[in-house]
Amino acid sequence: MTGPTAQRLPSGPSGPGGGAATGRVRRGGPGPVLLAALAPAVWGTFYVVTTELLPPGHPLFAGLLRALPAGLIALALTRTLPRGVWRAKAAVLGLLNIGLPFPLLAVAAERLPGGVAATLAAAQPLAVALLAVVVLRERLSPWRLGWGLTGVFGVGLVVIGPAAALDSTGVAAGLGCAAAMATGVTLTKRWGRPAGVGPTAFAGWQLVAGGLFLAPVTLLVEGRPPAIGAAAALGYLWLGLAGGLLAFVLWFRGVTTLPVSSVAVLVLLSPLVAAVLGALLLDQVLGPLQLLGFGIALAAIVAGQLPVPGRRDGRRGRDRRCAGRVSGRR
């Protein structure tokens, strides 16, 4: 197997490493955003798949089959392994993006109503907006924070029922899941991808790293794997191929090529898709308040893809001042 060596990447908009061959911020129309949005949309199918197809009581085993086989398939297809410093970076990213969120989300889902757990996970854009200040050295954006809060509020209206209860351990796990994913997304943007490494190999590294972390945890917590019938096999195949391989390839491609705050707000699609599928397939009713929240969350997602108001004009003003200084020197 071959793999590129870790290289010193040129500086870019997101700091050292952020200007890799695939780490530049691109604004080539809605295509890249729509492709990235497919990932959280597919993740939104997990609730229906888990409740209707998979054996109960084994969420970690489902996460393991979602990560490790998909990662091994990606490595077999690309024949590319991380080398040098990227061995450690891939391990860190795999832990933050996959290894930690899966068990934390399982704990949150077990101890909290599903709507509360989904709302806590939807706090990821807020964490990314704050981490971007520290890790990517971006200015704190009230625009991003405001729409992030609006999106969480909208998701809460959609998925939280009147009987929602809070559990301190569950809340901590849900917030920990959001924090781990936000840190992973921000570091992915910070480091970019090594030159010559495509999104499939990059996703494969992280899926394998996350799966190797999950394997002993799953064995210790859940013991022997469950019996797998035809319906469960279909569900696990969907989780592994669509929710693992395809979704994470598209997700990491989006993270490394689009503005990090714009990508982070797309995670709001996951609970929205879950709510729609619940209404269409499980006869769950979306009332007027939930439909209002749905519209609010969609507005936050769209607003998250727009340039921050005033920032472009500010850049033009700085360019004009710089041009004036140059002409004055002449």
The reported pLDDT for the residue numbered 113 is 67
Q: What is the DSSP letter of 12?
A: B
User: Is residue 9 included in any domain, yes or no?
Assistant: no
The reported pLDDT for the residue numbered 22 is 42
User: Is residue 17 included in any domain, yes or no?
Assistant: no
User: Is residue 121 included in any domain, yes or no?
Assistant: yes
The reported pLDDT for the residue numbered 198 is 94
Q: What is the largest CA-CA distance in the chain?
A: 79
Residue 15 main-chain phi, psi, to 5 deg: 95, -170
The reported pLDDT for the residue numbered 146 is 86
Six token digits for residue 40: 């959280």
35-68 burial code (b ≥16 CB/10 A, e <16): bbbbbbbbbbbbbbbbeebbbeebbbbbbbbbbb
The helix/strand/coil state of 80 is strand
User: Is residue 243 included in any domain, yes or no?
Assistant: yes
The reported pLDDT for the residue numbered 312 is 52
User: Is residue 270 included in any domain, yes or no?
Assistant: yes
Supply the DSSP string of 193-261, one letter for each residue. Answer: --TT--HHHHHHHHHHHHHHHHHHHHHHHH-SPPP--HHHHHHHHIIIIIIIIIHHHHHHHHHHHS-HH
The reported pLDDT for the residue numbered 25 is 46
User: Is residue 122 included in any domain, yes or no?
Assistant: yes
Six token digits for residue 27: 């604004």
The reported pLDDT for the residue numbered 278 is 84
pLDDT profile of the chain (330 residues), mean per 10: 36 35 51 91 87 88 93 96 95 95 83 72 84 85 84 85 70 89 93 93 96 95 92 94 94 89 88 86 83 91 82 47 44
The reported pLDDT for the residue numbered 280 is 87
What's at 84, amino acid-wise? G
Q: Residue 168's domain spans which residues?
A: 31-329
User: Is residue 44 included in any domain, yes or no?
Assistant: yes
User: Is residue 38 included in any domain, yes or no?
Assistant: yes
Dist CA 15 CA 8 (whole Å):
12
Number of domains the chain is built from: 1
